[in-house]
Amino acid sequence: MVEVGGVAGDQLRSYIERIERLEEEKAALAADVREVFAEAKGNGFDVKIMRQVLRLRKMDGDDRAEQEALLDLYKRAIGMT
C-alpha cells in the first residue's frame, strides 16, 4: 500500500473507482427513468402529475396529510375553492 502524506493510495483509488462505477449506474438508471416517463407520456399520462404523485408517495402519511391540509387552507384563503 502506497502512502503519501498519510493517505493510503490503493485504498483511496478503490473508493474513487467504486464511486465512479456507482455514478455510471446512477446515470444509466436516470436514463431508464426518463424512458419510462416518455413511454407514459406517449400513452397519454401527464408526466408532471406523475412526478407529483411520486413525491407524495415518498412522504410520510402524516406529513402528506399536513401538506394537503395547508394547501387546502391556502386555496380557501385566496378564494380558489
Quick: pLDDT tens for 62-72. 999 999 999 99
3-state helix, strand, coil in the chain (%, to 5): 80, 5, 15
Q: What integer is the mean pLDDT of 38-52?
A: 98
> Are residues 39 and 33 in contact, defined by beta-carbon separation less than 8 angstroms?
no
Grid cell in block for residue 19: 464511486
User: Domain containing 75: what range?
Assistant: 46-81
Number of domains comprising the chain? 2
> Do residues 36 and 55 share a domain?
no
Which of residues 80 and 7 earns the better pLDDT score? 80
- How many CA atoms within 13 Å lie on the side-chain side of 16? 6
Size (the chain), residues: 81
> Do residues 22 and 3 share a domain?
yes
Share of the chain above pLDDT 70, in %: 93
> Do residues 26 and 57 share a domain?
no
Question: pLDDT category, 35, cuts 50, 70, 90?
Answer: very high
> Do residues 41 and 65 share a domain?
no
